[in-house]
Structure 1
Amino acid sequence: MSDLTPDTQHPGLIGLLPRTVRGLALLARFDRPIGWWLLFWPGAWAVALAGGAFARWPLLLLLLVGSIAMRGAGCVYNDIVDRDLDAQVARTRARPIPSGAVSVRGAGVWLIVLCLVGLTVLVQLRPLAAAVAVASLLPVAAYPFMKRITWWPQAWLGLVFSWAALVGWAEVTGRFAPAAVLLYAGSIAWVIGYDTIYALQDREDDALVGVRSSALRLGRHVRGGVALAYALAVALWAAAIWTVRADPLAGVALVPAAGHLAWQVLTLRADDGAGALHRFRSNRFTGLLVFMACLVVGTAP
Protein backbone atom coordinates (compact mmCIF):
# COMPACT_ATOMS: atom_id res chain seq x y z
CA MET A 1 0.00 0.00 0.00
CA SER A 2 1.38 3.42 -0.91
CA ASP A 3 1.57 6.68 0.98
CA LEU A 4 1.97 5.08 4.38
CA THR A 5 3.09 7.34 7.20
CA PRO A 6 6.00 5.74 9.07
CA ASP A 7 6.28 5.84 12.84
CA THR A 8 9.68 7.50 12.64
CA GLN A 9 8.75 11.10 12.03
CA HIS A 10 9.98 13.48 14.71
CA PRO A 11 9.39 17.09 13.70
CA GLY A 12 9.49 20.10 16.01
CA LEU A 13 10.82 19.80 19.55
CA ILE A 14 11.09 15.99 19.38
CA GLY A 15 13.63 16.32 16.59
CA LEU A 16 15.83 18.59 18.74
CA LEU A 17 16.19 16.10 21.57
CA PRO A 18 19.37 14.02 22.06
CA ARG A 19 19.22 10.68 20.26
CA THR A 20 18.51 8.51 23.31
CA VAL A 21 15.91 10.87 24.76
CA ARG A 22 14.32 11.23 21.34
CA GLY A 23 14.06 7.45 21.11
CA LEU A 24 12.21 7.30 24.42
CA ALA A 25 9.88 10.12 23.37
CA LEU A 26 9.12 8.35 20.10
CA LEU A 27 8.60 5.07 21.94
CA ALA A 28 5.89 6.73 24.06
CA ARG A 29 4.49 8.43 20.89
CA PHE A 30 4.90 11.91 22.35
CA ASP A 31 5.20 13.08 18.76
CA ARG A 32 1.69 11.75 18.05
CA PRO A 33 -0.75 13.40 20.47
CA ILE A 34 -3.79 11.94 18.71
CA GLY A 35 -3.45 8.80 20.85
CA TRP A 36 -3.77 10.51 24.19
CA TRP A 37 -6.58 12.74 22.92
CA LEU A 38 -8.54 9.63 21.98
CA LEU A 39 -7.84 8.10 25.39
CA PHE A 40 -8.78 11.32 27.21
CA TRP A 41 -12.09 12.20 25.53
CA PRO A 42 -14.32 9.42 26.96
CA GLY A 43 -13.35 10.44 30.49
CA ALA A 44 -14.00 14.09 29.69
CA TRP A 45 -17.43 13.18 28.28
CA ALA A 46 -18.36 11.42 31.51
CA VAL A 47 -17.22 14.33 33.67
CA ALA A 48 -19.21 16.77 31.52
CA LEU A 49 -22.39 14.69 31.28
CA ALA A 50 -22.29 14.03 35.03
CA GLY A 51 -22.30 17.80 35.57
CA GLY A 52 -18.74 18.12 36.83
CA ALA A 53 -17.02 19.98 33.98
CA PHE A 54 -16.90 23.32 35.82
CA ALA A 55 -17.04 22.31 39.48
CA ARG A 56 -14.43 19.58 38.95
CA TRP A 57 -12.33 21.17 36.21
CA PRO A 58 -9.03 20.05 37.88
CA LEU A 59 -10.25 16.49 37.31
CA LEU A 60 -10.12 17.11 33.56
CA LEU A 61 -6.46 18.10 33.90
CA LEU A 62 -5.76 14.97 35.95
CA LEU A 63 -7.41 12.80 33.32
CA LEU A 64 -5.37 14.51 30.61
CA VAL A 65 -2.07 13.92 32.43
CA GLY A 66 -3.09 10.33 33.14
CA SER A 67 -4.02 9.81 29.49
CA ILE A 68 -0.65 11.09 28.27
CA ALA A 69 1.29 8.94 30.73
CA MET A 70 -0.73 5.75 30.35
CA ARG A 71 -1.05 6.00 26.59
CA GLY A 72 2.73 6.33 26.52
CA ALA A 73 3.09 3.35 28.84
CA GLY A 74 0.71 1.34 26.69
CA CYS A 75 2.71 2.13 23.56
CA VAL A 76 5.98 1.15 25.23
CA TYR A 77 4.50 -2.14 26.45
CA ASN A 78 2.94 -2.81 23.05
CA ASP A 79 6.26 -2.19 21.28
CA ILE A 80 8.12 -4.51 23.65
CA VAL A 81 5.64 -7.30 22.94
CA ASP A 82 5.39 -6.58 19.19
CA ARG A 83 9.06 -5.87 18.46
CA ASP A 84 9.44 -8.89 16.18
CA LEU A 85 6.23 -8.16 14.28
CA ASP A 86 7.10 -4.47 13.98
CA ALA A 87 10.37 -5.40 12.30
CA GLN A 88 8.39 -7.09 9.51
CA VAL A 89 5.98 -4.22 8.77
CA ALA A 90 7.09 -1.32 6.56
CA ARG A 91 5.38 1.39 8.63
CA THR A 92 6.75 0.16 11.98
CA ARG A 93 10.15 -1.41 11.34
CA ALA A 94 11.94 1.87 12.13
CA ARG A 95 10.32 2.20 15.58
CA PRO A 96 12.86 2.66 18.41
CA ILE A 97 13.03 -0.98 19.56
CA PRO A 98 13.21 -2.86 16.23
CA SER A 99 15.58 -0.21 14.84
CA GLY A 100 17.88 -0.54 17.86
CA ALA A 101 17.52 3.08 19.02
CA VAL A 102 16.18 1.86 22.39
CA SER A 103 17.00 -1.48 24.02
CA VAL A 104 14.31 -3.73 25.44
CA ARG A 105 15.78 -3.19 28.90
CA GLY A 106 15.74 0.58 28.45
CA ALA A 107 12.15 0.39 27.27
CA GLY A 108 11.25 -1.57 30.40
CA VAL A 109 12.70 1.12 32.66
CA TRP A 110 10.86 3.81 30.69
CA LEU A 111 7.65 1.83 31.08
CA ILE A 112 8.06 1.86 34.87
CA VAL A 113 8.66 5.63 34.89
CA LEU A 114 5.49 6.30 32.89
CA CYS A 115 3.47 4.00 35.14
CA LEU A 116 4.71 5.92 38.19
CA VAL A 117 3.40 9.14 36.63
CA GLY A 118 0.06 7.41 36.15
CA LEU A 119 0.17 6.31 39.78
CA THR A 120 0.45 9.92 40.95
CA VAL A 121 -2.85 10.59 39.18
CA LEU A 122 -4.45 7.42 40.52
CA VAL A 123 -3.81 8.23 44.18
CA GLN A 124 -5.71 11.50 43.82
CA LEU A 125 -8.96 9.77 42.83
CA ARG A 126 -11.66 8.62 45.23
CA PRO A 127 -11.49 4.88 46.05
CA LEU A 128 -14.22 3.74 43.62
CA ALA A 129 -12.73 5.61 40.67
CA ALA A 130 -9.23 4.40 41.57
CA ALA A 131 -10.43 0.79 41.76
CA VAL A 132 -12.09 1.14 38.35
CA ALA A 133 -8.87 2.55 36.90
CA VAL A 134 -6.77 -0.30 38.33
CA ALA A 135 -9.22 -2.84 36.85
CA SER A 136 -8.21 -1.64 33.38
CA LEU A 137 -4.69 -3.01 33.73
CA LEU A 138 -5.60 -6.59 32.80
CA PRO A 139 -7.33 -5.75 29.49
CA VAL A 140 -4.51 -3.31 28.71
CA ALA A 141 -1.93 -6.06 29.25
CA ALA A 142 -3.89 -8.46 27.05
CA TYR A 143 -4.39 -6.07 24.12
CA PRO A 144 -1.11 -6.66 22.20
CA PHE A 145 -1.95 -10.37 21.93
CA MET A 146 -5.46 -9.86 20.52
CA LYS A 147 -4.23 -9.29 16.97
CA ARG A 148 -2.81 -12.81 17.08
CA ILE A 149 -6.00 -14.56 18.18
CA THR A 150 -8.97 -12.57 16.85
CA TRP A 151 -9.97 -10.68 13.73
CA TRP A 152 -11.39 -7.96 15.98
CA PRO A 153 -8.53 -6.55 18.09
CA GLN A 154 -10.19 -3.18 17.50
CA ALA A 155 -13.04 -4.27 19.77
CA TRP A 156 -10.58 -5.07 22.56
CA LEU A 157 -8.90 -1.71 22.01
CA GLY A 158 -12.35 -0.19 22.41
CA LEU A 159 -12.68 -1.78 25.84
CA VAL A 160 -9.34 -0.27 26.85
CA PHE A 161 -9.51 3.17 25.24
CA SER A 162 -13.04 3.81 26.54
CA TRP A 163 -12.31 2.92 30.16
CA ALA A 164 -11.90 6.53 31.25
CA ALA A 165 -15.65 7.03 30.80
CA LEU A 166 -16.24 4.71 33.75
CA VAL A 167 -13.45 6.33 35.79
CA GLY A 168 -14.67 9.87 35.16
CA TRP A 169 -18.29 9.11 36.05
CA ALA A 170 -17.32 7.23 39.22
CA GLU A 171 -15.08 10.10 40.32
CA VAL A 172 -17.73 12.80 39.85
CA THR A 173 -20.76 10.93 41.20
CA GLY A 174 -19.29 8.24 43.46
CA ARG A 175 -21.40 5.57 41.78
CA PHE A 176 -22.31 4.04 38.44
CA ALA A 177 -25.37 4.87 36.37
CA PRO A 178 -26.86 3.78 33.03
CA ALA A 179 -25.51 6.92 31.39
CA ALA A 180 -21.92 5.90 32.22
CA VAL A 181 -22.40 2.42 30.78
CA LEU A 182 -24.02 3.82 27.62
CA LEU A 183 -21.22 6.35 27.15
CA TYR A 184 -18.69 3.55 27.58
CA ALA A 185 -20.47 1.28 25.10
CA GLY A 186 -20.79 4.10 22.58
CA SER A 187 -17.10 4.84 22.90
CA ILE A 188 -16.26 1.19 22.23
CA ALA A 189 -18.21 1.35 18.96
CA TRP A 190 -16.46 4.62 18.08
CA VAL A 191 -13.03 3.07 18.70
CA ILE A 192 -13.88 0.07 16.53
CA GLY A 193 -14.79 2.48 13.73
CA TYR A 194 -11.78 4.76 13.88
CA ASP A 195 -9.23 2.00 14.54
CA THR A 196 -10.57 0.05 11.57
CA ILE A 197 -9.83 3.15 9.49
CA TYR A 198 -6.33 3.28 11.02
CA ALA A 199 -5.74 -0.40 10.25
CA LEU A 200 -6.31 0.25 6.53
CA GLN A 201 -2.71 1.48 6.37
CA ASP A 202 -1.33 -1.95 7.24
CA ARG A 203 -3.63 -4.38 5.45
CA GLU A 204 -1.05 -5.70 3.01
CA ASP A 205 1.74 -6.14 5.57
CA ASP A 206 -0.66 -7.53 8.19
CA ALA A 207 -1.83 -10.19 5.74
CA LEU A 208 1.77 -11.17 4.98
CA VAL A 209 2.90 -11.53 8.62
CA GLY A 210 -0.33 -13.09 9.88
CA VAL A 211 -1.62 -10.18 11.96
CA ARG A 212 -5.41 -9.94 12.17
CA SER A 213 -7.55 -6.81 12.07
CA SER A 214 -11.11 -5.69 11.42
CA ALA A 215 -9.88 -3.94 8.26
CA LEU A 216 -8.78 -7.31 6.88
CA ARG A 217 -11.86 -9.14 8.12
CA LEU A 218 -14.28 -6.66 6.57
CA GLY A 219 -12.48 -6.72 3.23
CA ARG A 220 -14.40 -4.70 0.64
CA HIS A 221 -17.10 -3.96 3.22
CA VAL A 222 -14.86 -1.69 5.32
CA ARG A 223 -16.89 1.43 4.65
CA GLY A 224 -20.12 -0.31 5.64
CA GLY A 225 -18.52 -1.74 8.77
CA VAL A 226 -17.20 1.65 9.86
CA ALA A 227 -20.59 3.24 9.14
CA LEU A 228 -22.33 0.63 11.30
CA ALA A 229 -19.88 1.16 14.17
CA TYR A 230 -20.27 4.92 14.02
CA ALA A 231 -24.08 4.71 13.81
CA LEU A 232 -24.11 2.48 16.88
CA ALA A 233 -21.82 4.92 18.71
CA VAL A 234 -24.11 7.87 18.03
CA ALA A 235 -27.19 5.86 19.08
CA LEU A 236 -25.59 4.83 22.37
CA TRP A 237 -24.38 8.37 23.09
CA ALA A 238 -27.89 9.66 22.41
CA ALA A 239 -29.28 7.08 24.83
CA ALA A 240 -26.77 8.21 27.48
CA ILE A 241 -27.86 11.81 27.02
CA TRP A 242 -31.53 10.77 27.19
CA THR A 243 -31.01 9.11 30.57
CA VAL A 244 -29.64 12.39 31.91
CA ARG A 245 -32.11 14.72 30.20
CA ALA A 246 -35.20 13.11 28.67
CA ASP A 247 -35.77 15.86 26.15
CA PRO A 248 -35.73 15.23 22.38
CA LEU A 249 -33.92 18.54 21.90
CA ALA A 250 -31.02 17.28 24.01
CA GLY A 251 -30.13 14.79 21.30
CA VAL A 252 -29.69 17.64 18.83
CA ALA A 253 -26.42 18.42 20.61
CA LEU A 254 -24.94 15.34 18.95
CA VAL A 255 -25.71 16.45 15.39
CA PRO A 256 -22.28 18.08 14.77
CA ALA A 257 -20.45 14.95 15.94
CA ALA A 258 -22.72 12.71 13.87
CA GLY A 259 -22.11 14.90 10.83
CA HIS A 260 -18.37 14.68 11.26
CA LEU A 261 -18.49 10.88 11.51
CA ALA A 262 -20.68 10.77 8.40
CA TRP A 263 -18.05 12.81 6.52
CA GLN A 264 -15.41 10.27 7.48
CA VAL A 265 -17.47 7.40 6.12
CA LEU A 266 -18.59 9.10 2.92
CA THR A 267 -15.06 10.18 1.97
CA LEU A 268 -13.23 7.02 3.08
CA ARG A 269 -11.25 5.09 0.47
CA ALA A 270 -9.87 1.72 1.47
CA ASP A 271 -6.91 2.04 -0.91
CA ASP A 272 -5.82 5.49 0.32
CA GLY A 273 -3.48 5.07 3.27
CA ALA A 274 -2.78 8.78 3.70
CA GLY A 275 -6.48 9.58 3.53
CA ALA A 276 -7.27 6.90 6.09
CA LEU A 277 -4.68 8.36 8.47
CA HIS A 278 -6.16 11.85 8.02
CA ARG A 279 -9.66 10.60 8.83
CA PHE A 280 -8.41 8.64 11.80
CA ARG A 281 -6.67 11.69 13.22
CA SER A 282 -9.76 13.84 12.68
CA ASN A 283 -11.44 11.90 15.49
CA ARG A 284 -9.84 14.28 17.98
CA PHE A 285 -12.48 16.73 16.70
CA THR A 286 -15.17 14.09 17.07
CA GLY A 287 -14.16 13.78 20.71
CA LEU A 288 -14.36 17.54 21.17
CA LEU A 289 -17.80 17.71 19.53
CA VAL A 290 -19.16 14.93 21.76
CA PHE A 291 -17.65 16.70 24.78
CA MET A 292 -19.47 19.90 23.86
CA ALA A 293 -22.73 17.95 23.57
CA CYS A 294 -22.21 16.39 27.00
CA LEU A 295 -21.25 19.76 28.45
CA VAL A 296 -24.43 21.41 27.19
CA VAL A 297 -26.64 18.63 28.51
CA GLY A 298 -24.75 18.11 31.77
CA THR A 299 -24.82 21.79 32.75
CA ALA A 300 -28.35 22.62 31.54
CA PRO A 301 -30.68 23.76 34.37
Structure 2
Amino acid sequence: MVNFNGEILAAGTHFLNEENRGLRYGDALFETIRVVNNKIFFWESHYLRLMASMRIMRMEIPMSFTMEFLQQEIERTIQENGLESKPARIRITVYRNTGGFYTPENNEITYIIEAVELEHPFYILKDSSCEVELFKDHYVNSGLLASLKSNNKILNVLAGIFAKENDYDNCLLLNEKKNVIEATNGNLFLVKGNILKTPPISEGCLNGILRKQLIEIIEKSDDLELKEESISPFELQKADELFTTNVISGITSITKYRKKTYGNDKAKQLIGKLNARARLA
Protein backbone atom coordinates (compact mmCIF):
# COMPACT_ATOMS: atom_id res chain seq x y z
CA MET A 1 0.00 0.00 0.00
CA VAL A 2 1.26 3.48 -0.94
CA ASN A 3 0.30 6.82 0.61
CA PHE A 4 -0.21 9.23 -2.31
CA ASN A 5 -0.87 12.72 -0.98
CA GLY A 6 -2.91 11.30 1.89
CA GLU A 7 -4.79 8.70 -0.17
CA ILE A 8 -3.92 5.05 0.48
CA LEU A 9 -3.53 3.16 -2.82
CA ALA A 10 -2.81 -0.48 -3.57
CA ALA A 11 0.78 -1.26 -4.52
CA GLY A 12 1.20 -1.15 -8.29
CA THR A 13 -1.50 1.50 -8.80
CA HIS A 14 -0.63 3.87 -11.65
CA PHE A 15 -0.87 7.35 -10.17
CA LEU A 16 1.94 9.29 -11.90
CA ASN A 17 1.81 10.70 -15.43
CA GLU A 18 4.34 11.73 -18.07
CA GLU A 19 4.27 15.36 -16.89
CA ASN A 20 5.60 14.52 -13.42
CA ARG A 21 8.41 16.99 -12.67
CA GLY A 22 10.32 14.47 -10.58
CA LEU A 23 10.46 12.23 -13.65
CA ARG A 24 11.12 15.00 -16.19
CA TYR A 25 13.63 17.14 -14.34
CA GLY A 26 14.52 15.37 -11.10
CA ASP A 27 12.57 18.17 -9.40
CA ALA A 28 12.05 16.13 -6.24
CA LEU A 29 13.45 15.33 -2.81
CA PHE A 30 13.24 12.23 -0.68
CA GLU A 31 13.88 10.98 2.85
CA THR A 32 14.68 7.36 3.68
CA ILE A 33 13.70 6.54 7.25
CA ARG A 34 14.02 3.53 9.57
CA VAL A 35 10.99 2.68 11.71
CA VAL A 36 10.85 -0.11 14.29
CA ASN A 37 7.63 -1.09 16.10
CA ASN A 38 6.06 2.19 14.96
CA LYS A 39 8.98 4.20 16.40
CA ILE A 40 10.58 6.53 13.85
CA PHE A 41 14.34 6.72 14.29
CA PHE A 42 15.75 10.28 14.36
CA TRP A 43 12.45 11.72 13.14
CA GLU A 44 13.15 15.32 14.14
CA SER A 45 16.43 15.32 12.18
CA HIS A 46 14.71 13.85 9.11
CA TYR A 47 11.87 16.37 9.28
CA LEU A 48 14.16 19.37 9.71
CA ARG A 49 16.38 18.24 6.82
CA LEU A 50 13.34 17.80 4.56
CA MET A 51 12.00 21.26 5.43
CA ALA A 52 15.41 22.89 4.90
CA SER A 53 15.83 21.07 1.57
CA MET A 54 12.37 22.15 0.38
CA ARG A 55 13.25 25.77 1.16
CA ILE A 56 16.52 25.49 -0.75
CA MET A 57 14.57 24.01 -3.69
CA ARG A 58 12.03 26.87 -3.46
CA MET A 59 9.18 24.42 -2.89
CA GLU A 60 6.08 25.77 -1.18
CA ILE A 61 5.67 24.07 2.19
CA PRO A 62 1.94 23.52 2.93
CA MET A 63 0.68 24.85 6.27
CA SER A 64 -0.44 21.29 7.09
CA PHE A 65 3.07 19.90 6.59
CA THR A 66 3.88 19.84 10.30
CA MET A 67 6.08 17.32 12.03
CA GLU A 68 3.00 15.82 13.69
CA PHE A 69 1.05 15.57 10.42
CA LEU A 70 3.81 13.75 8.55
CA GLN A 71 4.39 11.43 11.49
CA GLN A 72 0.70 10.50 11.45
CA GLU A 73 0.86 9.86 7.69
CA ILE A 74 3.92 7.63 8.14
CA GLU A 75 2.18 5.70 10.92
CA ARG A 76 -0.96 5.33 8.80
CA THR A 77 1.10 3.97 5.89
CA ILE A 78 2.87 1.52 8.20
CA GLN A 79 -0.49 0.34 9.57
CA GLU A 80 -1.96 -0.13 6.08
CA ASN A 81 1.04 -2.32 5.21
CA GLY A 82 0.75 -4.40 8.40
CA LEU A 83 4.16 -3.32 9.70
CA GLU A 84 3.20 -1.84 13.10
CA SER A 85 5.27 -4.40 15.04
CA LYS A 86 8.04 -4.89 12.48
CA PRO A 87 11.10 -2.98 11.28
CA ALA A 88 10.34 -0.96 8.16
CA ARG A 89 12.04 1.22 5.56
CA ILE A 90 10.01 4.34 4.82
CA ARG A 91 10.58 6.57 1.82
CA ILE A 92 8.95 9.99 1.63
CA THR A 93 9.17 11.58 -1.81
CA VAL A 94 8.20 15.22 -2.33
CA TYR A 95 8.00 16.62 -5.84
CA ARG A 96 6.90 19.91 -7.37
CA ASN A 97 3.50 19.76 -9.03
CA THR A 98 3.00 19.46 -12.79
CA GLY A 99 3.29 22.58 -14.92
CA GLY A 100 5.93 24.46 -16.88
CA PHE A 101 9.18 23.34 -18.42
CA TYR A 102 12.45 24.08 -16.62
CA THR A 103 10.70 26.98 -14.93
CA PRO A 104 7.70 25.65 -12.97
CA GLU A 105 4.28 27.27 -13.17
CA ASN A 106 3.94 27.00 -9.39
CA ASN A 107 5.86 25.68 -6.39
CA GLU A 108 3.13 23.56 -4.83
CA ILE A 109 4.04 19.97 -3.97
CA THR A 110 2.74 16.42 -3.78
CA TYR A 111 4.11 13.70 -1.51
CA ILE A 112 4.35 9.91 -1.64
CA ILE A 113 5.05 7.63 1.34
CA GLU A 114 6.15 4.02 0.79
CA ALA A 115 6.84 1.26 3.35
CA VAL A 116 8.89 -1.94 2.99
CA GLU A 117 9.73 -4.48 5.69
CA LEU A 118 13.34 -4.68 6.91
CA GLU A 119 15.17 -7.78 8.10
CA HIS A 120 16.61 -6.58 11.42
CA PRO A 121 15.03 -4.32 14.08
CA PHE A 122 18.30 -2.66 15.07
CA TYR A 123 21.67 -1.95 13.52
CA ILE A 124 24.08 -4.85 13.20
CA LEU A 125 27.67 -4.88 11.96
CA LYS A 126 27.84 -7.51 9.25
CA ASP A 127 30.89 -9.74 8.93
CA SER A 128 30.63 -9.97 5.14
CA SER A 129 33.38 -8.58 2.93
CA CYS A 130 33.03 -5.14 1.39
CA GLU A 131 35.60 -4.26 -1.25
CA VAL A 132 35.52 -0.77 -2.74
CA GLU A 133 37.16 1.19 -5.54
CA LEU A 134 37.23 4.85 -6.52
CA PHE A 135 34.72 5.92 -9.16
CA LYS A 136 36.59 8.34 -11.40
CA ASP A 137 34.39 8.55 -14.50
CA HIS A 138 32.42 11.50 -13.09
CA TYR A 139 32.81 13.87 -10.13
CA VAL A 140 30.41 15.37 -7.62
CA ASN A 141 30.41 19.17 -7.77
CA SER A 142 30.81 20.39 -4.21
CA GLY A 143 28.27 22.94 -3.02
CA LEU A 144 24.87 23.28 -1.39
CA LEU A 145 22.88 21.27 -3.97
CA ALA A 146 25.18 18.26 -3.57
CA SER A 147 24.25 18.02 0.11
CA LEU A 148 20.53 17.57 -0.67
CA LYS A 149 18.84 14.17 -0.82
CA SER A 150 17.32 14.87 -4.20
CA ASN A 151 16.21 12.62 -7.07
CA ASN A 152 19.25 13.75 -9.08
CA LYS A 153 21.33 10.64 -8.32
CA ILE A 154 22.49 9.56 -11.79
CA LEU A 155 26.15 9.73 -10.71
CA ASN A 156 25.40 7.30 -7.86
CA VAL A 157 23.58 5.03 -10.32
CA LEU A 158 26.56 4.95 -12.69
CA ALA A 159 28.95 4.31 -9.80
CA GLY A 160 26.76 1.41 -8.68
CA ILE A 161 26.82 -0.05 -12.20
CA PHE A 162 30.61 0.35 -12.32
CA ALA A 163 30.93 -1.52 -9.00
CA LYS A 164 28.65 -4.32 -10.20
CA GLU A 165 30.43 -4.71 -13.54
CA ASN A 166 33.84 -4.89 -11.85
CA ASP A 167 32.90 -7.13 -8.90
CA TYR A 168 33.20 -4.46 -6.21
CA ASP A 169 30.72 -4.13 -3.36
CA ASN A 170 30.64 -0.34 -3.46
CA CYS A 171 32.37 2.71 -4.90
CA LEU A 172 33.77 5.83 -3.29
CA LEU A 173 32.88 9.11 -4.99
CA LEU A 174 35.21 12.05 -5.64
CA ASN A 175 34.46 15.75 -5.91
CA GLU A 176 35.90 18.11 -8.51
CA LYS A 177 38.95 18.66 -6.28
CA LYS A 178 39.65 14.88 -6.45
CA ASN A 179 38.92 14.44 -2.75
CA VAL A 180 37.00 11.39 -1.50
CA ILE A 181 33.61 12.50 -0.20
CA GLU A 182 31.28 9.51 0.28
CA ALA A 183 30.17 6.10 -0.99
CA THR A 184 27.37 5.53 -3.48
CA ASN A 185 24.89 4.94 -0.65
CA GLY A 186 26.26 6.64 2.45
CA ASN A 187 28.69 8.94 4.20
CA LEU A 188 32.32 7.95 4.72
CA PHE A 189 34.39 7.80 7.92
CA LEU A 190 38.14 7.15 7.99
CA VAL A 191 39.83 5.85 11.17
CA LYS A 192 43.50 6.36 12.03
CA GLY A 193 44.32 5.50 15.63
CA ASN A 194 41.71 7.24 17.78
CA ILE A 195 40.99 9.91 15.16
CA LEU A 196 37.91 9.60 12.96
CA LYS A 197 37.72 11.80 9.88
CA THR A 198 34.70 12.53 7.74
CA PRO A 199 34.49 15.07 4.91
CA PRO A 200 32.71 18.35 5.71
CA ILE A 201 29.41 19.08 3.98
CA SER A 202 31.16 21.81 1.97
CA GLU A 203 33.09 19.06 0.12
CA GLY A 204 29.86 17.91 -1.56
CA CYS A 205 28.85 14.95 0.58
CA LEU A 206 25.26 14.29 1.58
CA ASN A 207 24.10 15.93 4.79
CA GLY A 208 23.42 12.48 6.21
CA ILE A 209 21.20 11.87 9.24
CA LEU A 210 23.34 9.02 10.59
CA ARG A 211 26.48 11.05 9.88
CA LYS A 212 25.07 13.71 12.22
CA GLN A 213 24.28 11.14 14.92
CA LEU A 214 27.74 9.56 14.79
CA ILE A 215 29.45 12.94 14.89
CA GLU A 216 27.59 13.74 18.12
CA ILE A 217 28.43 10.30 19.58
CA ILE A 218 32.13 10.65 18.73
CA GLU A 219 32.32 14.21 20.08
CA LYS A 220 30.98 13.00 23.45
CA SER A 221 33.45 10.10 23.61
CA ASP A 222 36.49 10.43 25.88
CA ASP A 223 38.75 8.20 23.77
CA LEU A 224 37.82 9.27 20.23
CA GLU A 225 38.53 12.46 18.31
CA LEU A 226 36.50 13.72 15.35
CA LYS A 227 37.85 15.77 12.49
CA GLU A 228 35.68 17.13 9.68
CA GLU A 229 38.38 17.44 7.04
CA SER A 230 38.98 16.66 3.38
CA ILE A 231 40.11 13.11 2.64
CA SER A 232 42.54 12.53 -0.22
CA PRO A 233 42.69 9.16 -2.04
CA PHE A 234 46.24 8.72 -0.70
CA GLU A 235 44.94 8.57 2.88
CA LEU A 236 42.75 5.54 2.19
CA GLN A 237 45.63 3.04 2.16
CA LYS A 238 47.08 4.50 5.36
CA ALA A 239 43.85 4.18 7.34
CA ASP A 240 43.18 1.56 10.03
CA GLU A 241 39.48 1.42 9.21
CA LEU A 242 36.99 2.76 6.68
CA PHE A 243 33.25 2.57 7.12
CA THR A 244 30.13 4.02 5.55
CA THR A 245 26.89 5.07 7.20
CA ASN A 246 23.23 5.46 6.31
CA VAL A 247 19.99 5.26 8.31
CA ILE A 248 18.91 1.92 6.87
CA SER A 249 22.13 -0.12 7.16
CA GLY A 250 23.70 1.79 10.05
CA ILE A 251 27.46 1.20 9.87
CA THR A 252 29.04 -0.87 7.09
CA SER A 253 32.74 -1.67 7.47
CA ILE A 254 34.86 -1.58 4.34
CA THR A 255 37.17 -4.60 4.36
CA LYS A 256 39.35 -3.95 1.32
CA TYR A 257 40.51 -1.16 -0.99
CA ARG A 258 43.01 -2.25 -3.62
CA LYS A 259 45.77 -4.10 -1.70
CA LYS A 260 44.82 -2.64 1.69
CA THR A 261 42.65 -4.59 4.15
CA TYR A 262 40.96 -3.02 7.17
CA GLY A 263 39.82 -3.92 10.65
CA ASN A 264 36.57 -2.82 12.30
CA ASP A 265 37.37 -2.23 15.99
CA LYS A 266 36.04 1.34 16.11
CA ALA A 267 32.98 0.39 14.08
CA LYS A 268 32.21 -2.31 16.67
CA GLN A 269 32.66 0.24 19.43
CA LEU A 270 30.25 2.67 17.78
CA ILE A 271 27.46 0.30 16.69
CA GLY A 272 26.29 -0.31 20.28
CA LYS A 273 26.27 3.40 21.05
CA LEU A 274 24.33 4.03 17.86
CA ASN A 275 21.65 1.51 18.77
CA ALA A 276 21.36 3.01 22.24
CA ARG A 277 20.93 6.46 20.71
CA ALA A 278 18.32 5.18 18.24
CA ARG A 279 16.23 3.72 21.07
CA LEU A 280 16.22 7.08 22.84
CA ALA A 281 15.69 9.24 19.74
TM-score of the aligned structures, taking structure 2 as reference length: 0.27
Counting strand residues as a fraction of each chain, which structure ranks higher? Answer: 2
The answer to which structure has the higher helix fraction is: 1
TM, length-normalised to structure 1: 0.25
